[in-house]
Amino acid sequence: MKSVVVRSVSKLWGEARAVDDVSFEVEQGTLAVLLGPSGCGKSTTLRMIAGLDEPTSGSIEIAGKDVSGLTGSSRGVAMVFQSYALFPHLTVADNITFGLSVRGTPKPEMAARLDKVAALLGLEPLLRRKPSQLSGGQQQRVALGRALIAEAPVCLLDEPLSNLDAQLRQELRHEIRALQQRLGVTMVYVTHDQTEAMSMADRIILMRGGKIEQNGTPADLYERPANIFTARFIGGAPMSFLDLDDGAGGAVIAGTSSPPLFAGPGKGRVLGLRPEDIAVDDAHKSGLLHATVTGVEYLGAEALVTCALGDRSILARTRGAAAPAIGAQVSLSWHPSAAHVFDAASGKRLTIDSHAATPTPRLHTLHYQGSINA
């Protein structure tokens, strides 16, 4: 069942389109992430689902019902903000139950629900404290508790972890995801952090400039980015983009002596490669792409290696202990399925038949070295 349906929603602030004809659906009991750079319209979209802003056009349904004109609690949504927005003069317990007491919930019911939420979030020892006596992570747990106690079927979270340090963010994102699955609530979670999105989401809705660039599972966005924007945004270390050109045996990397990558034209096309998909061989080998190491960023378990290919550069990832030295002559290769090809003008992904390329038999037997020849 669809829990949230956003249908052709736009929001104009004066002339500016903060959200531009956005449509998506969220299945009940799943976690959808609205992801994208600052200013792309994530919060505006979330606030319209919450009923804090009304769309300029389009409609929103929650649990099958058009909710235009309804307030948040009558829509069945609860919201968690980045700024925890706790009342400084109230205890943790009173902060969590504030909404219930405003609505006149009977005391015994309120106490029972508080116990449950406090246990879920590990807040029992803190219930008598004031917000100023809590760490940032504890304050965010209280804010989360205040949303969960509403027992709304849909929980909306706007960058809830942005004010926390990296370690705490990682802990809390696991915790939020586990809670969401345990309680079976639908969550719409806003973040600009692709790692957070990738690790938490059932579906990611990636936005730019008020529009959706791609809507899919984390694996869809990583493995089959629909366009250059998505390819750039998703992934730990950045994908390298290289212009292609027409070569004698097929498409080649422009400005290099690259072997043909696949049959067909290269001009007007861009090759995208993720650092983790590139194998670095520590010598110039015939039939492979030759490069010179110009930079090494050592990160312990792994190293990011910048390689010059003519006047272009490409980023590869190796094991930390296997990182080549700066100045080393290396050969680069990758599996054909790791090559992402885009139209240079539109940025859209192109489907390339990598098996149609000119074969180089010697390399066929080598794992990870297909795309040069396959």
Ligand X SMILES: Nc1ncnc2c1ncn2[C@@H]1O[C@H](COP(=O)(O)OP(=O)(O)O)[C@@H](O)[C@H]1O
The 3-state DSSP class for residue 291 equals: strand
Backbone angles phi, psi at 259, to 5 degrees: -65, 160
Per-residue binder mask for ligand X (CB under 6 A), 195-234, x = binder: ----------------------------------------
Q: Which amino acid is at 134?
A: L
Q: Give the DSSP H or E segment for 33.
A: strand 31-35
* 46 vs 363 by CB, closer to ligand X: 46
Q: Does 44 bind ligand X (CB under 6 A)?
A: yes
DSSP H helices, 68-135, are 72-75, 92-102, 107-121
Query: Least distance in Å: CB of 43 to ligand X?
Result: 3
CB of 273 to Mg ion, least distance (A): 32
Residue selected from 26, 42, 153, 334 as contacting ligand X according to rule CB under 6 A: 42
CA distance 130 to 235: 40
- Under the criterion CB under 6 A, does residue 177 sit at the interface with ligand X? no
Q: Kindly tell me which of 13 and 298 has the beta carbon lying closer to ligand X.
A: 13
- Only one of the segments 37-45, 231-239, 275-283, 294-302 lies at the binding site for Mg ion (rule: CB under 5 A); that segment is 37-45
Contact 349, 234 (CB under 8 A): no
Nearest-angstrom CA–CA distance, 130 and 96: 12
* Binding partner at 293 among Mg ion, ligand X, none, C-beta below 5 to 8 Å by kind: none
- Residue 171's H or E segment, with its range, is helix 166-183
Indicate whether 188 belongs to the interface with ligand X (CB under 6 A).
no
Residue 249 Cβ, how far from ligand X at the closest point, in Å? 45
Measured between alpha carbons, how far apart are the two ends of the chain, in Å?
44
Between CA 235 and CA 195 the distance in angstroms is 8
| Interface positions, 91-110, toward ligand X (CB under 6 A) | none
**Partner that binds at residue 41, options Mg ion, ligand X, none, CB closer than 5 to 8 Å by kind:** ligand X
Alpha helices in 209-331 (DSSP H): 218-223, 228-233
Instruction: Decide if residue 44 touches Mg ion (CB under 5 A).
Output: no
State which residue, 159 or 202, has the beta carbon closest to ligand X.
Answer: 159
CB-wise, 23 or 337, nearer to ligand X? Answer: 23
CB of 346 to ligand X, least distance (A): 24
**13 is a contact residue toward ligand X (CB under 6 A):** yes
Give the distance, in angstroms, between the CA of residue 149 and the centroid of all CA atoms in the same chain: 28
298 binds ligand X (CB under 6 A): no
State the Cα–Cα distance between residues 250 and 352, nearest whole angstrom. 12
Which of 230/258 has CB closer to ligand X?
230
Q: What are the distances in angstroms from CA 182 to CA 30, 140, 179, 242? A: 11, 19, 5, 44
Report the alpha-carbon distance of residue 188 to residue 34 in Å, rounded.
Answer: 7
Structure tokens at 271: 């090759």
**Which of Mg ion, ligand X, none has residue 320 at its interface (CB below 5 to 8 Å by kind)?**
none
In the complex, the smallest distance separating the C-beta of residue 35 from ligand X, rounded to whole angstroms, is: 9
Q: Does residue 40 bind ligand X (CB under 6 A)? A: yes
Residue with Cβ nearer ligand X (20 or 223) = 20
Q: What's the rounded Cα separation, in Å, for the pair 365 and 357?
A: 16
Residue 190 CA to residue 66 CA, distance in Å, equals 22
- Residue with Cβ nearer Mg ion (43 or 373): 43
Stretch that binds ligand X, among 40-48, 60-68, 288-296, 350-358 (CB under 6 A): 40-48
Which listed option, Mg ion, ligand X, none, makes contact with residue 44 (CB within 5 to 8 Å by class)? ligand X
Indicate if the alpha-carbon torsion angle 212, 217, 219, 224 is positive or negative: negative
**Considering the rule CB under 6 A, would residue 43 count as an interface residue with ligand X?**
yes
From the list 43, 97, 194, 318, which residue makes contact with Mg ion (rule: CB under 5 A)?
Answer: 43
Q: Which one of 41, 250, 260, 272 is in contact with ligand X (CB under 6 A)? A: 41
3-class state of residue 50 by DSSP: helix
Site for ligand X in 318-347 (CB under 6 A): none
**Where in 193-274 does DSSP place strands (E)?**
203-208, 211-216, 240-247, 250-253, 269-273
Using CB under 5 A, list all residues that contact Mg ion.
43
Using CB under 6 A, list all residues that contact ligand X.
13, 18, 36, 38-44
